[in-house]
Amino acid sequence: MKAAADLFARLDDPTGPDAKIAALLGYFQTAPDGDKLWTVALLSGRTPKRIVTANQLRAWAIACAGLKDWLFEDSYRVVGDLSETIALVLPPPSRHENHSLTHWIKTIKRLSRMDEETRKSAILNIWDGMPAAERFWFIKLLTGGLRAGTSESLLIRALAQLTGQDEPAITYRLNGTWSPDTTTWHNLIEASDPQLALSHPYPFQPSQQVENIADLGNPAEWQATHAWGGARCQFILRGGSHALWSQDGALITDQVPELAPLRDFLPDGTVIEGALRAFAGDAPLGADAVHARITRKKITKAMRAETQLVLIANDLLEHDGSDLRQSTLDIRHKHLKNHLTSTPDQLPLRLSSAVEFASWSDLETQRQTARTAGADGLLLRHRDSPYLASKTMRWIWNAPPLTVDAVLIYAQAGPQSRANLFTEFTFAVWNGQTLTPFTRTSTGLTDADLAELSTWVRKNTQSKFGPVRQVTPTHVFEIAFDDIHASPRHKSGVALRFPRVLRWHKDKPVTEANTLDDLKDMRATYG
């Protein structure tokens, strides 16, 4: 357990990704296979079920340590973590039992079958054989709350370096409903699997924002389609099985079961690149609905009924097992259209329809109305271009941003290099007669603006909350953003994508700022 506890502690430190990968590699190179397997399970979210409540552990620790309730609660407030508080207040251990991580997880499973008094006695005895650092992580395992400070993507990178496999292969291996009770380290990570190569995606073609549309040359040589919010992905059908990969390297096949029927209608050896869109019936939903689906570990029938996902096909990268990426866009699109004519209309696969235009000014008109169609903007590609990952031949022309006038109410100082300036600001809109905060940003203001605002903030601070200053509501700013969606986590009920300051309305009174109803109307229209 000591090696695992040391690893989790190193991962929990606010270090960079390289240090965390080094810690993972060092651990995997020396740990026994059983511990390596359980560590992969824990770091990928496969934690044991909780067998005791926080209140039970709190009561047992208070009694064991001989503390008053108020003293424990004061300690908890200072430490900030219940597991760490318990680990620290318990008496020093009378012995040290040096068992493996696998041993303790098997012990936890046995504890789950005991009655409460027997379980309590067993846990107190285990605590008496553990130093505080190991107790802390053992308590996290007891409560099902182990969350080491690393992402699954870093785990995948470390395992790829350890085994010499590429990251998609490791991602594929870790996908699914496996558990350490049903597999081994060798079978999960090392054994050959012919499906690995078949499931691999192609590198995605990079996108770039259009700065000046006229620089692209002759408009007749370009194809334009709507650029949809959601998740860019590749649907892969090879060897009778399908896989769905997001652009960020996540295997999301199980999160989008709607696409499984496509196996019966598309030819084997097909790879389609597209974007996922979410619908509630016939009504399109925002990008947040897509991400809410593809980031869930398990998809229920209720989730599928509430949000249906559809693949909007943009490109065909493989046709009948042949790599089409060197072919022109027009050729690839011809094959893609043929594929889609063979699939029933009720299947969740649609062709991204072309936006017709004769000149760049025509296309500018289409861009202005892209949000009305539910799109984020326009996707532009040269008709003769291949699909290459090393060159930018894919251009995004974003729709004009949404904007709202808001009042500055909070300011926070910048990082160490800019600690003499206030660089992060919270903005509010009117909700009746009160101002409701709805977004925060540090983007869009010039250095001159920041210097002027910082001087003003120091003179107009009403109160301080740690590094945050509440200021007199005086200044109105135009806030631009790319998307708005519902968010129960925010007091305003909405959240913005990429908020930034567009301009400072120095002469505008705060009474003319927008309202929360205005934001909700935007969400209903564009969210």
Domain annotation for the chain: domains and CATH numbers = 2-142 (1.10.3260.10), 208-398 (3.30.470.30), 402-526 (2.40.50.140)
> What local confidence, expressed as pLDDT, does residue 419 receive?
63
In 3D, which of 340, 256, 336, 253 has the Cα closest to residue 292? 256
User: Side-chain half-sphere of 454: how many Cα atoms within 13 Å?
Assistant: 18
Q: What is the pLDDT along the chain (527 residues), one digit of tens a residue?
A: 889 888 888 888 877 889 999 999 999 999 999 999 999 999 888 888 888 898 999 999 999 999 999 998 888 888 888 888 998 999 999 988 889 999 999 999 999 899 999 999 999 999 999 888 898 888 888 887 777 767 788 899 999 999 999 898 999 898 877 889 899 999 999 998 888 888 989 999 998 988 899 999 999 999 999 998 778 999 999 999 999 999 988 899 999 999 999 999 999 999 999 999 988 887 788 777 888 888 888 888 898 888 899 999 999 999 999 999 999 999 999 999 998 887 888 899 999 988 999 999 999 999 998 888 778 899 999 999 999 887 778 899 999 999 999 999 999 987 755 667 899 999 999 999 999 999 999 899 999 999 999 999 999 999 988 889 999 999 999 999 988 887 777 888 888 888 999 999 999 999 999 999 999 888 877 76
> What local confidence, expressed as pLDDT, does residue 436 receive?
93
> What local confidence, expressed as pLDDT, does residue 491 receive?
84
* Residue 87: partners with Cβ closer than 8 Å, 6 or more residues away: 132, 133, 135, 136, 139
In terms of Cβ atoms closer than 10 Å to its own Cβ (0-12, 13-18, 19+), residue 149 is middle
Angle subtended at Cα 179 by Cα 178 and Cα 181, rounded to the nearest 5 degrees: 130
> What local confidence, expressed as pLDDT, does residue 246 receive?
93
Q: Is the separation of the CB atoms in 441 and 480 below 8 Å? A: no
Q: Is the pTM of this model over 0.75?
A: no
